[in-house]
Chain A
Amino acid sequence: MASAGRVRIRKTYKLFVGGAFPRSESGRAYPVKDARGDVLAQAARASRKDLRDAIRSARGAFRSWSEKTAYNRGQILYRVAELLEGRRAQFEEEIARSGGRKPARELDAAIDRWVWYAGWCDKVHHVMGTVNPVAGPYFVFTIPEPTGVVGIVAPDEPALLGLVSRLAPAIVSGNTAVVLASETKPLPAVTLAEVLATSDVPPGVVNVLTGLRSELVPHLAGHMDVNAIDVTGVPREMRADTEKLAAENVKRVVFAKSDESPYEITAFTEMKTVWHPMGA
């Protein structure tokens, strides 16, 4: 505990793009308030240019992240859990300040869910891939492949667990992600980004932007170099417009159907089928 009379050093909450923590290029921030209306902190208010940069970063990181072995990805994601567990006190405080009623339980659930998904990296193919018994002398197989860059609009609640539940299944298969943190409860997301930055997750694989939904969601939905968008956290009144914009490059529109399921992983994958003749 801090000693009495000691002035604390307050954290600055910035964006997480390409493995680094820049402020918004627009130089703006916005106040994050707790349930009583008191200001907890100022969070960076990302602009469409920040979003553009984050997407470019995610695209740049896609090739090497998706080309890692599934085992390697699983190890890297497990390491994130090791660091989360080690930073319990910080996360519990962050969750509590964001209005989480049972911070320790939520953190336990978030870490366990992260590990649950990490363990699927080298198993989802067993369950979701197939060998297809076609009626001819061909060997035909189908495997799930990552779709590319995934935009995630994180749900507001629970502040940490909700984000983890959408982010983990997206990146397990090799996708990279641009996350729009909850507008009202963004702080745990930024602290999660700090863990990602100090783990072995390569720069650009996960990017986290804080800011206003109204300013960011349309640009994410309309961006032509994003392959899928998770709309779980998109406010109801914005859903239709978001999906219309997403149609422009035929984005896969995804939303949470289950807390824990390998289908949440394959929602962000493409199934590739390969044929090869069998003949001496």
Chain B
Amino acid sequence: MKGLDSGFSAALARVPGVDAVGLEERAAALCKRSIKKDTKRWALDFLIRCMDLTTLEGADTQGKIVAMCGKAIRPDPMDRTIPSVAAVCVYPALVTAAKGALAGSNVRVASVAGAFPSGLAPLAERLSEIRDAVASGADEIDIVLNRSAFLGGGTQEAFDEIAASKEACGAAHLKVILETAELGAYDPIRRAAALAMRAGADFVKTSTGKVGGATPASALCMMEAVRDFHRETGRRVGVKISGGVRQAKQGIQYLVILHETLGADWLMPDLFRVGASTLLNDVLMQIGTQRSGRYQGPDYFTVD
């Protein structure tokens, strides 16, 4: 296990409080930005390039994965200018299938691991699942914060588990899901993000998508933590927004929040992702509208 971070307690103590009303007002104001024309076209294209196309269902089969990966590489079969997504996100058992279906493309494979979504299994099993997923070819690992430990006073334990998970990832990059909807308020979101980054996370992520998803305010809170961490350590941690992002309009709002909180430096797939499934078709429809001036209909976009 990785050595304990002696500065950890001091770092946590420095995490500022969050005023909920002020935070929500700022997020709402950012959501009112008017993104039009060239800017909107760039944003829609960027959303695809930053998307983690996701399926995390008990009913996922090889066939489902193969179809989704096809869509991931070529979202619109009629239009070669539409880029591939950044990654697909699947359960460990489907990593091999995904890897095969994506061979020859630049699309990466992210795997959830570590007793997703609850995180409540013995640590040894969770670490083993991570190692197996990486061995199967996963480029990226998405784990959950142990909320049971974090909310129950075991912040050191939660920290240690993340550090151990980072080690188990080897070369794969680690995303830590804070499950913002379960944390109950913004102060713990800020602290959880600080904790995860201190412990080695490459990305902080809002939600599993299984209980309540991201909100503009919770995303802003997380990004403010990322900003402070960069100021203190020089390290840039990525931000992934997931859970309930179904419309392009929402995706663009998160981009604005990112842009005005963390700046242009974070505008790249290495530092920003959106985890989604139905979002992709809405983005494609919006691109169609931007180009033709006509509102689009779902019949013209594939369902995979």
Q: Classify A-B as touching or not with yes or no (CB < 8 A).
A: no
Which residues of chain A have a CB within 8 Å of any CB of chain B? none
Which residues of chain B have a CB within 8 Å of any CB of chain A? none
